[in-house]
Homo-oligomer: A and B are copies of this chain.
Amino acid sequence: MSDTVDFPPTERTRIKRLHQRAHYDRETVHAILDAGLICHVGYVIDGQPYVTPTMYWRKDDRVYWHGSSASKMLRHLGTGPRVSFTVALMDGLVLARSGFHSSVNYRTVMAYGNAELVSDPEAKLTALEDMMERIVPGRWPDLKPPSPQELKATTVVSLKLEEVAAKVRDGGANDEPEDLALDVWAGVVPTTTVLGAPIDNPDLKAGIPVPENLKLIRFG
């Protein structure tokens, strides 16, 4: 992580408290985005905030997500409203000698802006291919290509990464100096997301092996 500022902080993205955890450089932002698979998109309808967890992927300085064209979220986001985009990866429980200094290790990215509909059919198809390439590199050419009806039923939206910041907490507990002598254990319990062994679909055609490219899945 560097002190480079590729994304100048705004009133919304400037991290005021614990500012040593803030990062505004492209390398840190991209690394966190490329480690995650699930984002939380925030939007407002009639004054009520909504938060939808969904899969996302990044290309250059843009993140994308998709879903059913019939979904309330995507029908709304297709109109280009303000959104917030959050990715949060938990790395560990930080157990201090006091509850007050107990914490969580994490990597987050928060971005703000207006959602943009990916309406051009070729751009939409490329985006869906990019998504599969993110999940299982090399799997796309094996799949049945999307039909025109499937493409129509799928909405893809994107957000340009302009107003964006990363926030990272790592390391051990930061107790008060006078508490270090207490007879209390302090430290970190790491948390990691792991992949299990692939499970064949019940209706899998006989003789089809688990593809090698599932080993290329990476996240967390």
Contacts and interface: CB of A to CB of B under 8 A. Distances in A.
A173 B195 contact: no
A48 interface: yes
Interface of A is mostly: mixed
A210 B82 CA distance: 47
A183 to B, nearest CB: 6
B192 A193 contact: yes
Among A41, A96, A97, chain B packs the most CB atoms within 10 A around the CB of: A97
A132 interface: yes
A88 B38 contact: yes
Given A17-B68, A144-B97, A144-B98, A40 B193 contact: no
Interface residues of A, number: 95
Contact of A53 (B41, B52, B108, B128): B108
A63 interface: no
A193 B146 CA distance: 32
Contacts of A161: none
A50 B38 CA distance: 17
A58 to B, nearest CB: 17
A204 B186 CA distance: 6
